[in-house]
Homo-oligomer: A and B are copies of this chain.
Amino acid sequence: MSNELTEQLTRLFEPRSIAIIGASATKMKWGYIVPANILAGGWKGDLYPVNPHETEILERPAFKSVKDIPGEVDLAIITIPANHVEEAVMECVEKGVRTCIVISGGFSETGKEGRAAEDEFAEIARKGGMRIVGPNTMGIYSGPNKLHALMPPVRPVAGKIAFAAQSGNLGTQMLSLGKALGVGFSRFVCIGNEADLKAADYLEYFADDPATEVILLYIEGLRDARRFIEVARETSPKKPIVVLKAGKTSAGAKAAASHSAALAADETIFDGVMKQTGMIEADTTEEMLDIAKAFAAIPMPKGRRVGVLTWGGGWGVVTADALARYGLELVEFPAETLAELDSVLPPYWSRGNPVDLVGTLDLSMHFRCLEIIARCGCVDSIISLGTMGATSSFQSFVLEGPIMDEMQRERIKPKVVTSEFLAQLQKTDEAYRDEVIRLMAETGKPIIAVSFPTSGSITPMLARQSEVVIYPSPERGAKTLAALYEYQQFLERKLAGV
């Protein structure tokens, strides 16, 4: 990997100083919103507003030009209209600014003229040794140093996933969803028009970035496919790369051409590239985060044999189908495992896999069954349905005003579900989560939880998916497990030199 690129992108993601070119005191303008996000996000460094018509912005002195800033500038963020960008880039180069994010749109995405203008300022930057993100980008995020240089006021959780997206909306909304689920990001970049820095550059940086363990890409088309493939091939054995490739159908490719002006790769070629390089494909937007969060949180399955724990027979059947569809095996337990389970479960249990826990509220039984299955040599991974996150379901049933009112009106005072009972369930959820974490650490096997978000909300417990993962359906849990196993197989082929 290039040391120069690493050095340059470290300036970008971990700048010591930032100039905002087009900083504004008008609160509905990006020149206000972006620096306000940066300051509110907790980044520590020197922020310099640049605006020739103001003296103070965001309680800081405003500079007429980036060239007037006394100290060094690691990163300039340009939010001014397209026709002034070239001049601003020129001034940045003169100042010796190291990296630059061009938020402004109106370039190659609008047609030939825009492309010419984009090429011009990119050439100026290239000659001056300044790297550019964008134009037409929503900005970047960096977790370790709390840098929120983004247009939407999204405040991601810091974590292990680096994410490069050829769509700002889609990218930032994934960060938001991640926040709701407690899934953390190390870095994020909205790639924009790639006048200078390209998907392959970010991928190369993430590959060696110590803050990053998993790489997530949303790709519409590649401007430098050959280099991208090379970098992916080198990176995959070190860190899993999860990719959503949009524009694979001809309708999608056409839409992509008008969106990012990117050239779409032929679908069959792309599928071949995925396989060769060991990148893991997400088929849908939901799968992007489903899969990335699992890579960031849980161990790899060493084989295809799955043990399933369920609270309800139907969910077990659906899970069995899903495992079969995604090439995983619902393992037959050997006699000694069945005997161990016999010692825990009531005599009428179904003595097979899935293990139906027969809807009891005695959760110690679940704990013991989970341990037996996790320690069984016949099992490579576990899907645990309905146990973790049960609090959420119960809350949806009972914690609502109208129901309690009705109960009062009918003069029934049931003690079935009291707040003490719910507090106990919450505690059990936490204990179960800790047990899952312990068992994953001790056995090295992934445990995937599935809980049905029946309340429509994610409980605080569920919202910490940096240590355990919880899916809203067995199908999504099984598909994710299959993606993990696909990567494991790739690693094994690499080791075997195939």
Contacts and interface: CB of A to CB of B under 8 A. Distances in A.
B410 A39 contact: yes
Interface in A313-339: 313-325, 329-330
Interface stretch (A64-72, A369-377, A411-419, A481-489): A411-419
A179 to B, nearest CB: 7
A40 B286 contact: no
Interface in A411-459: 411-412, 414-417, 452-458
Interface in A156-183: 165-171, 173, 176-177, 179-181
A276 interface: no
Contacts of A27: 414-416
Contact of A317 (B41, B59, B259, B410): B259
Interface stretch (A199-207, A294-302, A349-357): A349-357
A185 interface: no
A155 interface: yes
Greatest chain B CB density within 10 A among A173, A455, A476 is at A173
Nearest to A356: B259
A246 B317 contact: yes
B259 A313 contact: yes
A463 to B, nearest CB: 7
A318 to B, nearest CB: 5
A41 B313 CA distance: 27
A386 interface: yes
A285 interface: yes
A345 to B, nearest CB: 13
Interface stretch (A84-92, A95-103, A250-258): A250-258
B454 A414 contact: no
A303 interface: no
Given A176-B396, A315-B170, A40 B403 contact: yes
A218 B169 contact: no
Contacts of A168: 312, 314
Nearest to A325: B249
A80 to B, nearest CB: 17
A255 B411 contact: no
29 contacts: A32-B416, A40-B410, A152-B397, A153-B403, A165-B314, A167-B313, A168-B312, A169-B314, A169-B386, A173-B454, A176-B393, A177-B453, A177-B454, A179-B454, A180-B453, A180-B456, A247-B317, A247-B321, A250-B324, A251-B320, A254-B352, A255-B317, A255-B319, A256-B320, A258-B352, A258-B356, A260-B314, A284-B473, A286-B476
A86 to B, nearest CB: 18
Nearest to A411: B59
A311 interface: yes
A406 B148 CA distance: 13
Contact of A315 (B169, B181, B260, B474): B169
A179 B400 CA distance: 12
Given A36-B412, A154-B397, A173 B407 contact: no
A440 to B, nearest CB: 24
